[in-house]
Structure 1
Amino acid sequence: RFLGTKVTIVEMLPDILMTEDIDIRKGLRSILEKQGVEIHVQMKVIGVQVKDGKVTVFCEDHEGKEHQLGGNQVLVAAGRSPCLEGIDLDRLGIATDGPFIKVNPRMETSVPGIYAIGDVIGGKMLAHVAMEEAEVAVDNILGRPREVDYTRMPNCIFTFPEVGSIGMTEEEARQRGGEIKVGKFSYPFSGRAQAEGSTDGFVKIIADPQTGEILGAHILGERATDLIGEVALAMTAEAVVEDLSAAVKGHPTFSECLKEAALAWEGRPLHFLGGG
């Protein structure tokens, strides 16, 4: 859209980015629609026709009504399937989980000594996840036992503005039972965001109110994909929310937004108006 192209999104599920926190979904959808992106949810594509350099997409909504959408190009982003051509899994005796190769947390298949990583095992099909899986597989091959911890894998979405997330969403944290506490800081109260004119977004931290254990963090806004790395480090080091608020951040930086969200979680926010 930022390059001047009219964009229409067709999503079969009830909302965009259903694996993300509900506040991220609502916030990003609102921003995209303000940018002029047309979004259709609960609608499935039933056909595509290309004629004279134009594309017509035939869709059906949740009520069974048919719609036609026109354009010049169609980008299909409906997931990926593993490329296993030339590998006879049955002959090798390697177990599968649906179309994917089944592995344990050490990345070892059902056949001892044979390991698999990346898109062929399913799960989070992200480059940085596959890299971690590869490192874990090699460590185990070399006799250094290690397992992959998927709960500390960040998600990065390079929209305008960006999305960065890690750990549980608020819905997931509530469903697990027990109490949770949420701290939130909005970008409009950030000096750096104001200076750059990038005031859309927020930082949200979810944690255990008794221990301060960070259960999840969700960021919508400028530099979100960089900022989420700070939370990944904190979770890996088993730091608590109070550690995030205690760290001194340079001013003016976007990193301050993370500190402010941690302070809000503690009930002592610095920069906010009303509910901030």
Structure 2
Amino acid sequence: MKEISCKLLVIGAGPGGYVCAIRAGQLGVDTVIVEFGKPGGTCLNVGCIPSKALIHAAEEFEKIANMAGGKGPLGIAVARPTLDLSKTVAWKDGIVSRLNSGVVGLLKKAKVKTVQGWATFRDGKTVEVETETGSQVIRAEAVVIASGSVPVELPFLPFGGPVISSTDALALSEVPNKLAVVGGGYIGLELGMAFAKMGAKVTVVEALPRVLAQYDAELTRPVVKRLGELGIEVMLGAKAKGVSTKGDALLVETADGKNAKVAADKSLVTVGRKPLTEGWGLEQIDLDMAGKFIRIDEQCRTSMRGIFAIGDVTGEPMLAHRAMAQGEMVAEIVAGHKRSWDKRAIPAICFTDPELVTAGLSPDEAKALAGEIKIGHFPFAANGRAMTKQGEDGFVRIVARADNHLVLGIQAVGQGVSELAAAFGLALEMGARLEDIAGTIHAHPTQGEGFQEAALKALGHALHV
């Protein structure tokens, strides 16, 4: 059995793990990273990146389909388009492959040793990795657990056959004629809307009273409107119970307690994700848990000396950019730098149509924390760039303290607003006040002007609405 020693061992090469390893390598830390699958983790391989590729392809197809017969307002006429999903998936796979290679190259550049296989803890300093060529023991002074998360599987809707996960949905070779989506959260609606644009008849089954329940109703209203325009049926207060014997329908209990069947070639289950804590031998090291997640402090240290945990395995928000920031911080701590988690906000994006962006506190959260607040709301219907993109449906909203105008939260819904996330996050991180945003010149014509206008509105003197 082979044995190697290092200063830092990173378990998992997802966004958090590979960033941690790269930064540690840059700082001269002798680092080993272990990954069972491909580098990049869920986000790069079967999550963030491939889903956005599919969403983009769906958007392009819908645009062209809407131009068939010259019916659109732009004066563009084309023949009715067709879609070869297998080619779309191949294009998506090509992007993923290039990014995989990029991560591998960055790890090599940072002089990080990569071990392919499944790691299991022997004790707090030692893991055994099952590789293709046999077992390898790795001893490390410090260990970072970055094992990520996996889709939640419902016992009455096990994955297989007509029941698919988001991973399976991104690998389909043809568009289902009828698609049932179990779960009206961001993953379900992102993929459901994409497949609807590609021609599928989509039905969303959501147990709660509304979709995208983690966002406030005002913010999600344009998305709900768009669901109707795409012909997506939404069943609220409904519970999936299983699939029919023939596998051609989803069995549902409706809000009024009746049983119903939703015809479906495929049933996509998107009811959330859970941390991957099983199979790593964590029982050998007895870490403190916070529910189903590994408990960490402000430096991502676990209850056991020398063991850190980052990313989805440590709790919400389960976002790749949170994991990356944690990984970079931990690498510097291991290298002897003084760091701790002091982030003011972690922007979150929902890539539905239209897109949603949130950073910081919602109006209700801000009111509960600060008492009296000011809210600035600017509609894209008054924004020239949004109008030229046919993206008038949406708005930017700023929430600030009423006494000193400190900005507490920023939200937006609209076409392409995901690109405003950086500005929102920076404003909150820098402790901006309404006057700072209102006094910053925003380029014209851009949707970013809505950010400035929202601040002006909160101050009582909006210029364009």
Partner of 1:207: 400
Which range moved further: 66-75 or 179-188? 66-75
1:152 & 1:228 partners in 2: Cα distance? 11
**SS at 2:443 equivalent:** coil
> Are 1:113 and 1:141, in contact at CA under 8 Å, matched by a contact in 2?
no
**SS at 1:217 equivalent:** strand
**SS at 1:153 equivalent:** coil
- 163 and 114 in structure 1: CA distance in 2 versus 1, 3 angstrom threshold: same
> Are 1:15 and 1:25, in contact at CA under 8 Å, matched by a contact in 2?
no
- Deviation of 1:151 (Å): 4.8
1:244 maps to a residue whose letter is I
Partner of 1:240: 433
- Deviation of 1:242 (Å): 1.3
- 149 and 35 in structure 1: CA distance in 2 versus 1, 3 angstrom threshold: farther
2:335 is aligned with 1:139: no
- Deviation of 1:95 (Å): 1.1
> Are 1:12 and 1:41, in contact at CA under 8 Å, matched by a contact in 2?
yes
1:45-103 deviations in whole A, cap 9, x for unaligned? 1112363xx63111113332222111222221111122234322232121112222111
2:291 is aligned with 1:98: yes
TM-score (norm 1): 0.92
Please identify which structure carries the higher strand content: 2
Which range moved further: 237-246 or 22-31? 22-31
**1:63 aligned to 231, 252, 256, which one?**
256
2:428 is aligned with 1:263: no
2:204 is aligned with 1:5: no
- 146 and 48 in structure 1: CA distance in 2 versus 1, 3 angstrom threshold: farther
**SS at 2:358 equivalent:** strand
Give 1:25-44 correspondences, 5 Å limit.
25-44=220-239
2:368 maps to a residue whose letter is Q
1:199-227 deviations in whole A, cap 9, x for unaligned? 11111111101111111111100221111
TM-score (norm 2): 0.56
**2:377 aligned to 184, 187, 191, which one?**
184
**SS at 2:308 equivalent:** coil
Give 1:40-119 correspondences, 5 Å limit.
40-49=235-244, 51=246, 55-119=248-312
**SS at 2:450 equivalent:** helix
- Deviation of 1:5 (Å): 2.1
**2:219 aligned to 10, 21, 24, which one?**
24
**SS at 1:7 equivalent:** strand
Partner of 1:193: 386
- Deviation of 1:254 (Å): 0.9
1:173-198 deviations in whole A, cap 9, x for unaligned? 22335101110011111000111111
**SS at 1:183 equivalent:** strand
Give 1:214-233 correspondences, 5 Å limit.
214-233=407-426
> Are 1:89 and 1:95, in contact at CA under 8 Å, matched by a contact in 2?
no
**SS at 1:75 equivalent:** strand
2:219 maps to a residue whose letter is I
2:353 is aligned with 1:160: yes
Give the gaps of 5 or more residues in structure 2: 1-195
Which range moved further: 260-269 or 149-158? 149-158
- Deviation of 1:232 (Å): 0.3
Q: Which has the higher contact order (CA 8 A, sep 6+)?
A: 2
> Are 2:343 and 2:429, in contact at CA under 8 Å, matched by a contact in 1?
no
Which range moved further: 151-160 or 184-193? 151-160
2:258 maps to a residue whose letter is K
- Deviation of 1:263 (Å): 0.9
- Deviation of 1:105 (Å): 1.9
- Deviation of 1:37 (Å): 1.8
**SS at 2:273 equivalent:** coil
2:201 & 2:394 partners in 1: Cα distance? 23
- 242 and 78 in structure 1: CA distance in 2 versus 1, 3 angstrom threshold: same
- Deviation of 1:8 (Å): 1.6
1:32 & 1:197 partners in 2: Cα distance? 17
- 176 and 65 in structure 1: CA distance in 2 versus 1, 3 angstrom threshold: farther
RMSD: 1.7
- 45 and 147 in structure 1: CA distance in 2 versus 1, 3 angstrom threshold: farther
- Give the number of the structure whose alpha-carbon radius of gyration is greater: 2
- Deviation of 1:166 (Å): 0.8
- 64 and 49 in structure 1: CA distance in 2 versus 1, 3 angstrom threshold: same
- 57 and 28 in structure 1: CA distance in 2 versus 1, 3 angstrom threshold: same
